[in-house]
Amino acid sequence: MMNRIFSRSSYAFTIATCLCASMIVAGCSSSATTESTDKETETTTGSVAAIDELPPESPEASFEPPVFEADAEKLLASRLPIERTQEGWIRLFDGHTLFGWVIGGNANFRVEDETIVADKGENCLLTTSTQWSDYELELQFQCDEETNSGVFVRTTLDPQSVQTDCYEVNIAPPSNPFPTGGVVQRSKGETFDTDPEKWHTMNILCDGATLRVTIDGTVTCELDDATQPTSGYIGLQHREGRIAFKDIQLRPLGLKNLLADGLEGWTVREGMDGEYRINDDGHLVVDGGKQQLETEAVFGDFVMLADYKMDDPKSNSGLFFRAIPGDEMMGYECQVSNELIDGNPLQPADCGAGGIFRRQDARVVAGEPERWNSILLVAEGNHFATWVNGLQVTDIVDTRKADENPRRGLRLEPGSIIVQGHDKTTQATYRQIAVAEKVAAEGGE
């Protein structure tokens, strides 16, 4: 059926149609469980000593990786308003599939009524396949009175210690040494009483050394020494009891608009057709002909946010990254194209907005003509992910052999960013191309 997406999640690989063989997840091992337990006792000195006790497990339980079905209408309905996406906001969970997530153990994470739910199985994490450094994370959660769960930020896939490998924002009863809203083994924070009949909104700010937790508008915990680790995945924990999450959104911080000073810092390639100009609104206009506009600076691992508008459904542009400086469009290409085959958003005519050209088509064309659209691209090592209008459309690991030219193989070296003029029919407008360079994650995961 061409109007629906079917995908099976995996306990060992990244989710959905782009199962990435190089991202095997070890899951939460027994040693990890022992060291990261939040059942601890306070000593007379105020420090914390862990109880050598493993959480309840169900070794006899076995869960089949869930299968998801979503049609284009459902996926496109989960897009965010442009007023929000132009600030960088994206959905980490599309409400229907676990695309972009990794199940790290034998727990029954599943999707019910646009909600991620778990209530049985091992103590383990469901993590994003993308790592993040500085950001604002906002989500809603619902839990039973005795539920012990948490939201892990800047985490490894298999954290061995909550003191060095991650920050665990706890969801736990008031009797727990680190009740809901505290950061395990770092700060107890202010106790927040959850209501099992209500959804609560949690906001987590990770900004350099600052980590602040807010629940339903009340700050429950704030750290000013969040320097280890500085980057990592986002994880949702199943430990004990029922836990549910929904409306999971993220906004990367530190983005700087490369078009803020017009074409300063950019170079137009000589001897090619097409025109680049800044209009009266301060927006970049790409008008007709094959052409490239290239940054003088180079970027390796980064987050990029671009707002674009193309009135013609067949207009074609692109954003090249890690390109060979000074060469002609020799880089990875994040496609900027809204064209469909037979009007079906699940069939891009040319890779689709946010698709990584010749690597992975967008799973759905989420951009539209005659309106502003946002693309958020994350490039980290050999992993790339994109969101269009807040909806994740690609998730890919480049497993090719290393090569200077990304058209031939994996390029990890920094390169320029290029705005493409594709052909004489191209007319595109960009009102921002903003970049934040990523902090390297510790531990090599």
pLDDT tens by residue, 296-349: 999 999 999 999 999 999 999 999 999 999 999 999 999 999 999 999 999 999
Amino acid found at 228: Q
Considering the domain architecture, whether residues 428 and 376 belong to the same structural domain is answered as yes
The number of angstroms, rounded, from the C-alpha of 327 to the middle of its chain's C-alpha atoms is 30
Considering the domain architecture, whether residues 270 and 240 belong to the same structural domain is answered as no
Q: How far apart are CA 131 and CA 252, in angstroms?
A: 11
Q: Is residue 79 part of a domain?
A: no
Considering the domain architecture, whether residues 363 and 283 belong to the same structural domain is answered as yes
- Give the tokens for residue 419: 């705005």
Considering the domain architecture, whether residues 330 and 424 belong to the same structural domain is answered as yes
Is pLDDT of 278 > 50? yes
Q: Tell me the average pLDDT of the chain.
A: 86
Answer for the pair 233, 127: CB distance below 8 angstroms, yes or no. yes
Domain end residue (candidates: 252, 273, 307): 252
Reference 381, options 301, 442, 324, 438; nearest CA is 301
- Give the tokens for residue 240: 């004990």
Amino acid found at 56: P
Confidence of residue 439 (pLDDT cuts 50, 70, 90): low
Where is 277: in which H helix or E strand?
Answer: strand 275-278
Domain end residue (candidates: 233, 252, 271): 252
Answer for the pair 293, 265: CB distance below 8 angstroms, yes or no. no
Q: Is residue 50 part of a domain?
A: no
Answer for the pair 170, 189: CB distance below 8 angstroms, yes or no. no
Considering the domain architecture, whether residues 241 and 277 belong to the same structural domain is answered as no
Q: Is residue 150 part of a domain?
A: yes
Q: Which residues contact 368 (CB under 8 A, 6 or more apart)?
A: 338
Q: Is residue 117 part of a domain?
A: yes
CA separation (Å) from 412 to 13, 78, 302, 376, 383? Answer: 22, 33, 12, 19, 10
Considering the domain architecture, whether residues 404 and 418 belong to the same structural domain is answered as yes
Residue entry with tokens 């989420």: 366
Considering the domain architecture, whether residues 269 and 405 belong to the same structural domain is answered as yes
Q: Is 207 helix (H, G, I), strand (E, B) or coil?
A: strand
- Give the tokens for residue 276: 């680049």
Give the gyration radius of the chain's Cα atoms. 22
**pLDDT tens profile 326-339:** 999 999 999 999 99
Q: How far apart are CA 285 and CA 278, in angstroms?
A: 6
Reference 7, options 82, 68, 72; nearest CA is 68
Q: How far apart are CA 135 and CA 211, in angstroms?
A: 10
Q: How far apart are CA 181 and CA 213, in angstroms?
A: 7
* β-pair partners for 143: 243
Pairing state between β 135-143 and 124-128: unpaired
Is pLDDT of 59 > 90? no
Considering the domain architecture, whether residues 261 and 236 belong to the same structural domain is answered as no
Q: How far apart are CA 331 and CA 314, in angstroms?
A: 23
- The enclosing domain of 370 has a CATH number of 2.60.120.560
12's torsion region: left (phi>0), alpha (psi -120 to 50) or beta?
alpha
Q: Is residue 149 part of a domain?
A: yes
Confidence of residue 22 (pLDDT cuts 50, 70, 90): very low
Considering the domain architecture, whether residues 283 and 200 belong to the same structural domain is answered as no
Give burial (CB, 10 Å; 0-12/13-18/19+) of 296: exposed
Is pLDDT of 169 > 70? yes
* β-pair partners for 121: 107
Considering the domain architecture, whether residues 298 and 197 belong to the same structural domain is answered as no
Confidence of residue 34 (pLDDT cuts 50, 70, 90): very low
Is pLDDT of 46 > 90? no
Name the residue range of residue 202's domain.
89-252
Scored b (16 or more CB within 10 A) or e, 324-347 reads bbebebbbbbbbbbbbbeeeebbb
Is pLDDT of 47 > 80? no
| Per-residue pLDDT, 288 | 82
Q: How far apart are CA 169 and CA 255, in angstroms?
A: 25
How many folded domains does the chain comprise?
2
Residue entry with tokens 């496609």: 335
Domain end residue (candidates: 235, 252, 269): 252
| Per-residue pLDDT, 271 | 79
Q: Is residue 109 part of a domain?
A: yes
**pLDDT tens profile 113-133:** 999 999 999 999 999 999 999
Considering the domain architecture, whether residues 276 and 419 belong to the same structural domain is answered as yes
| Per-residue pLDDT, 45 | 28
Q: How far apart are CA 245 and CA 112, in angstroms?
A: 10
Q: How far apart are CA 119 and CA 238, in angstroms?
A: 7
Answer for the pair 28, 124: CB distance below 8 angstroms, yes or no. yes
Answer for the pair 9, 68: CB distance below 8 angstroms, yes or no. yes
Considering the domain architecture, whether residues 285 and 430 belong to the same structural domain is answered as yes
